[in-house]
Amino acid sequence: MPENLLAKVTEQNLASFQWTHPSRYVCLPSSEGGGVRITAPAKCDYFRDPAGVMNNDSAPYLHLDASGDFVLRAHVRHPFRFTYDAAALMVRSDAEHWAKLCFEATDFNTHAVVSVVTTGVSDDANGVNYHWPAVWLQIVRRGNFFGLHYAPDGEHWNMVRYFGLDMPATVQVGMVAQCPVGTGSEIDFLYFSLEQRTVSDLRAGC
């Protein structure tokens, strides 16, 4: 993997990625801005329910390895067909240690930026309701501390969450397409970047 992957997702640079739970995908035409559309199959998700009711580890995850500090970003959209459908960025070391930042159809009939942090079991935190069709998501790592952010424009970041999570130096980072309760959906990642650098302010995301 190159030290910095900062590009539209294309058929060519998808060779740098690996799949967990492979799924169908198509690269979007450059005339539409480019990116990749990933099919989320029925009933797929990453979630370890504190009550043990809805444990799931099955959503398509297209990922890279990242070592040390990084800034991970994506520009995402989807049709919000079913409750909990989401485009997500995820950082993961194993099935019990991971975090994701989602643009999700919530069970309150809103579209929101939602975060989940898992240490054995998952929590689930709805963030801001977001009323536009696409949003930028960002995960920032500095040591074992992480910042989650969203932005309308990919430049002016708003904090969703700041937390500590013990992780190995090298982790998986990438794109998740989820459809936990529906019959499937199509999730667009219009842009994806991984920069291996250290930010000065985890809360501000820069």
SS3 content of the chain, % helix, strand, coil (to 5): 5, 55, 40
Contact 157, 149 (CB under 8 A): yes
Structural domains present in the chain:
4-195 (2.60.120.200)
pLDDT, residue 4, reads: 53
User: HSE on the CB side for 150, CA within 13 Å?
Assistant: 26
- The closest alpha carbon to 150, from 119, 114, 124, belongs to 114
Chunked into runs of 10 residues, the chain (206 residues) has average pLDDT values of 53 84 92 89 97 92 96 97 98 97 98 98 97 97 98 97 98 97 97 94 96
pLDDT, residue 53, reads: 85
Contact 37, 187 (CB under 8 A): yes
- Please give the Cα distance from 63 to 188 (Å, whole number): 15
- Please give the Cα distance from 107 to 91 (Å, whole number): 24
